[in-house]
Structure 1
Amino acid sequence: MIIWLNGTFGAGKTTTAGELVKIIPETRIFDSEHVGFMLRHIQGLPEVRNFQQWPPWRGLVVQTASHLLDYLGGVLVIPQTVLIEEYWAEIRLGLEKSGIPVHHFTLHTDQATLTRRIETDAVETGARQWRLDHLADYRRALPWLSREAEVVDTTEIPPARVARIVAASAGVRTAQAG
């Protein structure tokens, strides 16, 4: 199965993914951004604002996830923001055609907390302004995300607890808390 963690930048997707790996046996993180990084080196692709605009990115994410699960089994956690409904539909349908159950979550937090998290992030310091600039895109996408995914409010919940909420909702067995 796949647990897809969606939501804007700073909502806690990467941190929650790391927590899920700790509590769900045979779980791996697939950072689908690396597919986009790979494609940036291909000559002839049109200039785009976001690599998700390239149809090969969406198809390769589906194929890579499918092959990884065929090879490794278990659970794949994909912490990836997808804010264009048509792109999500294409990915979801591709995974469904591959017979992969997908549990889609949108990690959400209030605007003030989100801004604080982005501005104080010590890891992605070079992307602060880019992340802040995309908050409006997330707000515009929230209506369809709320229909397509289970929304988990991460505002006042520590990441380990968010991971337990996600795991329980996905119906996966977790290791005992340690």
Structure 2
Amino acid sequence: MLLWINGPFGGGKTQTAHEIHHRLPGSVICDPEHVGFGLHRMLPPALRGDFRDLASWRQGVVEVLDLALTRHEGVVIAPMTVTDSGCFAETVGRLRELGHDVRHFTLLAERETVLRRLRERGLGRLLRRAGGKNPGPAGDTWAVRQLDHCLERLREPEFAEHLWTDRSTVPKTADRIAVLAGLTLRPHTEGRVRTRLRQATVGVRHIRFD
């Protein structure tokens, strides 16, 4: 089974994917962004656009996930924002055509909720600046500029199943996905502090410096 976790940038996809992975023995995270980052690094900075527009990204994601789903016995988890119908058909749709059990979920939240979550990711901006990189104005990040488009598109029926997360914690969202997918997660028994530390570690590991 593939769990494709969609949602706006800053919507909690990565944290939810890692929560499920943490509590689902045998599962593995296959992040489609890594394919895109690799393609970006092959290009001069001036030519780097949205890697989802590259046919090589869409084909590569399908090929890698097809291999993982065919050879790996456990659940495969893919956290990735996809808002374009054509791109969705060429990735999620293509994997279904290949016969895989793909469960697609979109994490949604009100605009202010997502903006607050993006502000909480400010550590990445500080580390980029410390590394000599220019993170750009706080209110003008790429994720913020994409937010309205993402929220509008992802509410469409084709991107169901929709899960609203404004009043849900990451562990509770993971529980909801598991129930809908017919999976059994290990109980969430960590205290609040340990959970926050683990989530912070996930966030730091996903800071990009290029």
TM-score by length of 2: 0.77
Q: Deviations over 1:64-87 (max 9, x none)?
A: 011122232211111100111110
Task: Say what the alpha-carbon RMSD is for the aligned residues.
Answer: 2.1
Structure 1 alignment gaps of length 5 or more: none
- Deviation of residue 30 (structure 1)? 1.0
Distance 1:82 1:3 in 2: 14
Distance 1:155 1:103 in 2: 22
Amino acid at match of 2:142: W
1:52 and 2:55 correspond:
no
SS at match of 2:31: coil
Q: Is the 8 A contact 2:155 2:162 kept in 1?
A: no
- Deviation of residue 148 (structure 1)? 2.9
Residue 167 of structure 1, aligned match among 158, 178, 186: 178
Q: How does 1:59-74 map to 2 (within 5 A)?
A: 59-74=59-74
Aligned identity (percent) is 31
Distance 1:107 1:78 in 2: 13
Query: Closer, same or farther in 2 for the Cα pair 1:123/1:64, shift >3 Å?
Result: farther
Structure 2 alignment gaps of length 5 or more: 126-134, 190-210
- Deviation of residue 25 (structure 1)? 2.0
Aligned length: 176
Q: Deviations over 1:157-177 (max 9, x none)?
A: 110000000011011122234
Moved more, 113-122 or 123-132: 123-132
Distance 2:173 2:148 in 1: 24
SS at match of 2:78: strand
- Partner residue, 1:148: 159
Which has the bigger relative contact order, CA under 8 A and spacing at least 6? Answer: 1
Q: How does 1:79-90 map to 2 (within 5 A)?
A: 79-90=79-90
Q: Is the 8 A contact 1:85 1:141 kept in 2?
A: no
- Partner residue, 2:143: 131
TM-score by length of 1: 0.89
